[in-house]
Amino acid sequence: MPRIKKILVANRGEIALRVIRAARELGLATVAIHSTVDEGALHVKFADESVCIGPPPARQSYLHIPAIISAAEITGADAVHPGYGFLAENAEFAEVCGRAGLTFIGPLPEHMRLMGDKVQARTAMAAHGLPILPGTGILRSDEEAMAAALEIGLPVIIKATAGGGGRGMKIVHDPAKLLQQLKTARAEALAGFGNEGVFIERFVDAPRHIEVQVIGDGKTVVALGERECSIQRRHQKLVEEAPSPALSPAERLALLERVGNAVSAIGYRSVGTLEFLFERQPDGEPRFYFMEMNPRIQVEHTVTEMVSGVDLLREQINIAMGQPLREAYLRERVKPNGHSIELRLNAEDPVTFAPSPGRITALHLPGGPGVRVDTHVYQGYVVPPNYDSLIAKLIVHDEDRPAAIARLRRALVECVVEGIKTNLDFHRRVVEHEDFVRGRLDTRFVERLLH
């Protein structure tokens, strides 16, 4: 593969700035793209070059493939990094980049297609030794759905095969409501993903959500560690940490080896994350169920970086340039070093969780030992109403979980954002909650916190 010299970052916000920083440390030039409303964003200010590619609506800018390719051509970029969201998991975009002579910094298109279809992904990973919940393929008829639900046993969950973020997802407890929920799920899936395909899976009430970070060069895959992502609202993660307080060292090692072997079997290249539901049986036996794989960098990659010492963005770029995985170097970091926790700071009403765009009139971000803040905002920045409400990620690291929680509490005291509403107070409640302190987490934690 040719040496990359200039990367166009096909994204915005904190992840665009994160890519720019990794590229600069590798001696690579960067190009930022932006919509008209993002002209004053930090990723635009810190890139070597910038190109405005359209108006605020994402379909006319950050999702507009011809405009992105044109921006790469006029600036002489020879590679594209998609970040997360937008076009990060779009196999067609990766192929267009290849045809335009651009190195796509991410997985191969065939892996994006495989993992972009949850039914295919479940089948593939089950064939390579990962456990899955009882479920179906893509449902072809109402009759098939009803028969499958009764066979699996209620409650069941309907999921969009091309979905994510909770869209096209419905929990069914009553068979009389199945067909209506199925119709609604299909409509949401079609509107959100352009694909109405859905499938049914056994519903697990209040599991833990644990995911595993992998990195591969097409020949070797290493599972770097797991993250606990159980604190969610409407299937959107709010707090992540590494390692999970639910697993023993032996359970962790067994999970990582199993995941590494499964992903190695498909020849995966780049970074990726496999997501699992986890429940512990009454006899203490751990049960993991594979849900999906995200073939991209994750929002919460930061906590894995903090406990592994591996710069995932830098490794991802090196792999795209054809460099082999430093397997021995990475395997030494399977055992986590200390504990890390990330909070997603969102511009939203703390009661209704509705987005809260506007101008940030005062901003003080925490610092000190073991504190990291990934953000694209600054005092005077106007948070636009057009995109995701994430404005910053507050990450802490310390020698163990209690120390990390104490450091997080201190950092939250220092954090000041004025002019817009944020979920800062929500996070302050989380870190004081007895269940959080004791590591008693599951996907219904937020329900208990708010009620």
- C-alpha span between 397 and 418 (Å, rounded): 26
Main-chain phi, psi angles of 260, to 5 degrees = -60, -40
Catalytic residue among 18, 296, 344, 407: 296
Q: What is the DSSP letter of 161?
A: T
- C-alpha span between 172 and 202 (Å, rounded): 10
Residues contacting residue 263 through CB under 8 Å, at least 6 positions apart: 128, 214, 216, 221, 223, 272, 274, 293
- 415 CB neighbour count, 10 Å cutoff: 20
Identify residue 184 by its one-letter amino acid code: T
- C-alpha span between 266 and 50 (Å, rounded): 37
Q: What is the DSSP letter of 56?
A: S
What the block records as the tokens of 328 is 């021995």
The Cβ-side half-sphere exposure at 361, using a 13 Å CA radius, reads 5
Asked if the peptide bond before residue 155 counts as cis, ω within 30 degrees of 0, the response is yes
Whole-angstrom CA distances from 405 to 319, 379, 396, 399, 433 are 34, 27, 8, 11, 11
Confirm whether 296 is a catalytic residue. Answer: yes
- C-alpha span between 316 and 321 (Å, rounded): 9
Q: Please choose, from the candidates 205, 211, 252, the residue with its C-alpha nearest in 3D space to the C-alpha of residue 443.
A: 205
What the block records as the tokens of 192 is 């959100």
Residues with a catalytic annotation lie at 296
